[in-house]
Amino acid sequence: MYKTLLTIAILGVLILLTSAYYTAPADSRIGYKAPALVLGNNNNGLSPLQQHRGGNILLTFWSSADVESRLSNKHYDSMSRIDGMSFTHVSVNMDRSEGVFNSVVALDSLDRTANFGTSLDAQEVIIKSWRLEDGYHSFLIDAQGTIIAIDPQDNELASLRESIR
């Protein structure tokens, strides 16, 4: 009886180890599957990443209080409007005030359909899962959901455009 239980336990551990080996972990580093993006009560609970699944996505996190991230967001928003660009820009605002978010979107002439606000509860999860403790970043995610660049430069986005043709 002891040998049977031991054999079952060893087989169980082997099954767990092999199944863990084949599942790709989600992480906000290059080469990993992008973590889930849950915005809270906004957008009817549907993630913008789910809406654009199957294509290249440039996901930008920003705040009006962080000038560098705000300027990057505005730049990426402009680039995404250029004909032939092979990515969809999805922008996530981390301001705690919806009024501030709406004002900045209007002031910066951002594409309202590509910019999303977050609930306060969702912000804590996003900061942790996307590793934003030290500042906001942009993530280029390929059609398979893998992060291929962080804070991509214009030439990286242009080369992505050329490789699609």
Residue written as tokens 């031991």?
6
Query: Quick check: is 44 in a domain?
Result: yes
Predicted confidence band of residue 20 (pLDDT cuts 50, 70, 90): very low
Query: Quick check: is 14 in a domain?
Result: no
Query: Quick check: is 6 in a domain?
Result: no
Give the range of the structural domain holding residue 86, as residue numbers without chain letter: 26-164
Average pLDDT over residues 15-40: 71
pLDDT in tens, 97-150: 889 999 999 999 999 888 988 888 889 999 999 999 999 999 999 989 999 999
Predicted confidence band of residue 16 (pLDDT cuts 50, 70, 90): low
Query: Quick check: is 13 in a domain?
Result: no
Query: Quick check: is 83 in a domain?
Result: yes
- Give yes or no for residue 2 having a pLDDT over 80: no
Whole-prediction pTM: 0.78
Query: Quick check: is 11 in a domain?
Result: no
pLDDT at 165: 44
Number of domains in the chain: 1
Query: Quick check: is 45 in a domain?
Result: yes
- Give yes or no for residue 14 having a pLDDT over 70: no
33: domain CATH number?
3.40.30.10
Query: Quick check: is 15 in a domain?
Result: no
- Give yes or no for residue 23 having a pLDDT over 60: no
